[in-house]
Amino acid sequence: MDGAIHMAAGPALKAAGRLWVQANGPLATGRAMITPGFNLRAQWVIHTVGPIWHGGNQNEDALLASAYGESMRLAHENDITHIDFPAISCGVYGFPLPRAMPIALETLAKSLGKGVVKVVSMVIVSPNAVAHWAETAKQIFGPPD
């Protein structure tokens, strides 16, 4: 997902990220930063570093929750009312999807409950995962209206 976003946004997105790192140092796991969206329809891109899965004994759950929470905080600080998320860390970083789903959705539910943003969407690219995300969302948020 990260590569597709960078490709669609154009080279200015990568350049903006480099400038941010030069000014602030590497983005730590669980933290987030924001850049313009450049060639994307989205005005902003919030970048976050999710944890690499190491078996669950290296604070991965808390770092994943922080990645979502920090992204929501930045959205609020920048008056972003709608935010879309991929399944952070569930691809090449190997975070197990059944473990990640409730962490992600519970973290987002807390932020929504505080009015941090108005709308949150999960962008799930695997058809097999959609039903699992929907079931977990139903357990956390209740059935859709």
CA 85, CA 120: separation in Å to the nearest integer? 8
Q: For 47-74, what is each residue's pLDDT tens digit? A: 999 999 999 999 999 999 999 999 999 9
- Residue 62 pLDDT: 98
Number of domains composing the chain? 1
Q: For 86-114, what is each residue's pLDDT tens digit? A: 999 999 999 999 999 999 999 999 999 99
- Domain of 50 in residue numbering reads as 2-141
pLDDT for residue 24 is more than 80: yes
Tokens encoding 115:
């009015």
Helix or strand (DSSP H, E) at 91: none
pLDDT for residue 46 is more than 90: yes
CATH number at residue 98: 3.40.220.10
Among 2, 61, 79, 84, the active-site one is 2
Helix or strand (DSSP H, E) at 34: strand 32-36
145 flagged as catalytic: no
**Residue 1: pLDDT band by 50, 70, 90 thresholds?**
confident
- What CA–CA distances, in Å, run from 13 to 26, 31, 34, 68, 117? 16, 18, 10, 21, 24
Q: Decide if 78 contacts 44 (C-beta within 8 A).
A: yes
- Residue 82 pLDDT: 96
Q: For 69-89, what is each residue's pLDDT tens digit? A: 999 999 999 999 999 999 999
